[in-house]
Amino acid sequence: MARARVPRWKHESKIKPMRRESSTVVVLVGEADDGLLADLGRSPNVSVARVPAAEKDGRGQHDGARPGWEIGALAMREAARGRSTYVIVPHDPLAEVADTWRAMWGGPGGPAAAAGFEERAADALDAWRHNRFELPDYYLVLAQAQPDGTGPDLYLGPLRAVRPRRVAVAALTDTPAQPGQVINVLRSLEHGPWWPPLDELLDAARRFYPGALADTSSAPLSEATEGTLGG
């Protein structure tokens, strides 16, 4: 009888459960370079949660031992210590889930792509159930304004369909993104119901047809302009 696969992180990850504070935690999705993050960190009421270099480099980890969700979980742990009004997180625990979901729909697809998504989803779900990470208050997607849309996207597709007010979008007219564009979207974030359990979100992703993305993204994208967050 085959033995059940035990995620390697259970033996090697040292991330402790998070304790959320009062800051609004926003995961930034898209091309966010170091210059943008540095500028955001200098903005009033905004900080950037970065993974400590020693942990990001995986010191003390065996080669290949780090699970896909762990960098995002480390960043979210740092964000939980923040005291600013907004804490920007440039890493997402669901990043590999999002990548494999896109590959499942945006590439050749097939059983291998579906299996890749299921494996990453199972690992992330197991870690979430063991309190290794929480979802952020919001996702903020940096998206180039394109007439044909963005293609298959976990954030703009199933996540936004389930909780439209928890996924904000900055329609970029400049490359790279400018800090004022991000700040303008932060100022317009709306309250809404909290995320459902992660297993329900993953089920929504399985059922979501990317052709419906045009409907979920038909709401006006945030026309980002220069702005600041006042004290």
Q: Which tens digits make up the pLDDT trace of 36-61?
A: 999 999 999 999 998 877 676 665 55
Residue, of 221 and 53, whose pLDDT is higher: 53
The C-alpha angle with vertex 132 and arms to 26 and 24, in degrees rounded to 5, equals: 20
**CA-closest candidate to residue 93, choices 47, 116, 125, 61:** 125
pLDDT at 201: 97
pTM: 0.81
Instruction: Determine which of 68-72, 106-110, 111-115, 146-150 has the lowest per-residue pLDDT on average.
Output: 146-150
| 73 and 132 Cβ atoms separated by less than 8 Å | yes
Residues 153-179 as b or e (16 or more Cβ within 10 Å = b): bbbbbbbbbbbeebbbbbbbeeeebbb
pLDDT at 220 over 80: no
Asked if the model's pLDDT at residue 98 lies above 80, the reply is yes
Domain chopping of the chain, boundaries? 20-223
Mean predicted lDDT score pLDDT of the chain: 82
Residues 6 or more apart in contact with residue 205 via CB below 8 angstroms = 97, 101, 121, 154, 157, 158, 159
pLDDT at residue 25, rounded to an integer: 97
**Residue 76, burial from CB neighbour count under 10 angstroms (0-12, 13-18, 19+):** buried
Three-state secondary-structure class, residue 170: strand
The mean pLDDT value for 165-194 works out to: 90
Residue 104, pLDDT > 60, answer yes
pLDDT at 11: 44
Q: How confident is the model at residue 184 (pLDDT cuts 50, 70, 90)?
A: very high
75 CB-near residues (< 8 Å, 6+ apart): 49, 50, 51, 89, 90, 91
